[in-house]
Structures are given as structure tokens and as C-alpha cells.
Amino acid sequence: MLDGAKRWIGGADTADLIAVFARDTATDLIRAFLVERTAPGLRLETMRGKVSLRPMQNMQVTLENVRVPDDARLGRVNGWADVARLLRAMRSDVAWIATGLQAGALEAAIAYVQHREQFGRPLASFALVQEKLARMLGNLTASLGLVVQLSIRQDAGDYRDENSALAKMWTALHARETAALGRELLGGNGLLLEHDAARFFADAEAVYSYEGTHEITSLIVGRALTGHSAFL
């Protein structure tokens, strides 16, 4: 029997099966279950008003006395350590998203400053504009190097919490700055969706928050560096 609720579940409205992590009241361990989207007692509500990542529909999933058979339980998930194994790979995906976001922000900014003119000159010819573009490229290049090395290690079978956490922490933090610089270069036009900068700016805020906040990923890295856990 499953009871509870979880927000921000992407694609739940189209999935045939929804993976649900729940605490076993008998053992206090985390378990995982595959629940049919149409199961009695399961309710889906679309979250409205998002300002970013709008192509993905996020849902609130509510479970009230949802019965699942024992064969719907994933046998290899028997605690938080098993859930953490999944997060190692998922955080890697988000680090790539944060890196690609920076590439898009840089491309949009370059395209704009090349054709936009002030005082009879393209914005691209101004020194401070070029300085901001260079910082954006630096952030992107560093992020790309980090995620490529992470993927190489994972392809070799080396999966570590601290590596995925570091990649997510770094790329998401710098995606925020890169997107902000790109928006800044467009001035007021950076607030218009037609120039893309606003979309990258809003998406960077979402990427910064999910699959482990900056603070949580930092503590995972810190634990690996020091051997001491700051988690209570």
C-alpha cells in the first residue's frame, strides 16, 4: 500500500509506469515500485505557470491507498545507497544539459551582437561586449572539459558520487553566469523570447536547482575531500 505525494515529476502524464520511491514502514528502508499510471488511488495534476523548461510537463503525483503487488517492487533497491547509484548517472545528464545550455546562450549572444548596431558600429566591435563573450566561452569550455572527462570515466565503469556532484555543481553554477551575461548583452531585448537569451536565462535557474541543489552537491564533494560528512 502506497501513500504520499511528490511534485515536479516530468513526463508522468504519458508514462505507462511510474517509478515510486517510498519508505517501508516495517523496515524503515527505501524501496522502489513500478506503479501503473491508471492505478486506483493515483492522481496526476499538471503544474501550471512554469517560466522555464516549458516543453516538459511536470506533474504532482498523489498516491492514496494505492495497492501494488509484490512483483511490482524493484528487488535491487533496498535502501538509500541504491537510490544514490541512480543519482550518479542522473546528475551526469544534468551537467551535460547545463553545458549545452551555455553553448546555446553563447551562440544566441554572438548572433545578436553581430547584427545589432549602435553608433554606426555592430555591438560585436565594442571592447566590453567582447570581454563578456570571452567569459561566456571560458565558462563553456571549462564545463565541456569537465563533462567530457566525467563521461570518459563513467564509460570505463568508474562511477563516483563526488564526480557527478562536482560536474553538476560546477556546470550549473556557471550556466547561471553564462546565461546572465548573454541576457545582459542584449539589453532590454534580452527579455524577449524572440532572441532566445531569456529562455536560456530562465532554464539556467531551473537546472541550478534540480537533481541536487548547489549546496547538496557541494557537501557531497566536501565529504569526499575531507572524509567528514556535513549531513545531519
Is the separation of the CB atoms in 201 and 190 below 8 Å?
A: yes
Q: How far is CA 200 from the centre of its chain?
A: 13
Alpha-carbon torsion, ordered 176, 181, 187, 193, to 10 deg: -40
List the grid coordinates of 56. Answer: 516538459
Q: Between the CA of residue 38 and those of 11, 67, 135, what are the distances in Å?
A: 14, 12, 49
In angstroms, the CA 127 to CA 134 distance is 11
Q: What are the cell numbers at 134?
A: 570571452
Distances (CA, A) of 28 to 19, 79, 80, 155, 201: 19, 9, 10, 34, 41
**Host H or E run for residue 68:** none
Q: Which of 45, 107, 184, 211 is catalytic?
A: 211
3-state secondary structure of 18: strand
Q: Which of 46, 37, 45, 30 is nearest to 66 (CA)?
A: 37
Please report which helix (H) or strand (E) contains residue 121, including its range: strand 121-122
Is residue 64 flagged as an active site residue?
Answer: no
- The whole-angstrom separation of Cα 56 and Cα 201 is 17
What residues are annotated to the active site? 211
